[in-house]
Amino acid sequence: MLSTLMIALREGLEASLVIGILLSALNKSGRRADFSKIFLGAGLAIFASLAFAGLLTSTSQTLSSTAEELFAGTTSIIAVGLVTWMVFWMKKTARTMRSDLSHKLALAISAPALIAVAFFAVIREGIETSLFVFATTKSINSTFAPTLGLIVGFGIAIALGVAIYRQSFKIDLAKFFNITSIALVIIAAGVLAYGVGDLEDAFGGATNAAFDFTAQLGADSIGAHLIAGFLGLTPSMTWLQVVIWVAFIGVTLTLLRQPARSDARARLVA
**Domain spans of the chain, in order of start:** 2-261
Q: What is the pLDDT of residue 116?
A: 87
Q: What is the pLDDT of residue 243?
A: 92
CA distance 148 to 144: 6
Q: At what angle do helices 111-140 and 173-202 cross, to 10 degrees?
A: 50
Q: Collect all residues with Cβ–Cβ distance below 8 Å to 95 and sequence separation of at least 6.
A: 262
Q: What is the pLDDT of residue 41?
A: 92
Q: Which residues of the chain have pLDDT under 50?
A: 264-270
Phi, psi of 212 (to 5 degrees): -150, 100
Name beta bridge partners: 150: none
Q: What is the pLDDT of residue 251?
A: 95
Q: What is the pLDDT of residue 232?
A: 66
Q: What is the pLDDT of residue 269?
A: 39
List helix spans (H) across 203-221.
214-217
CA distance 203 to 180: 34
CA distance 40 to 36: 6
In this structure, what DSSP letter does residue 80 have?
A: H
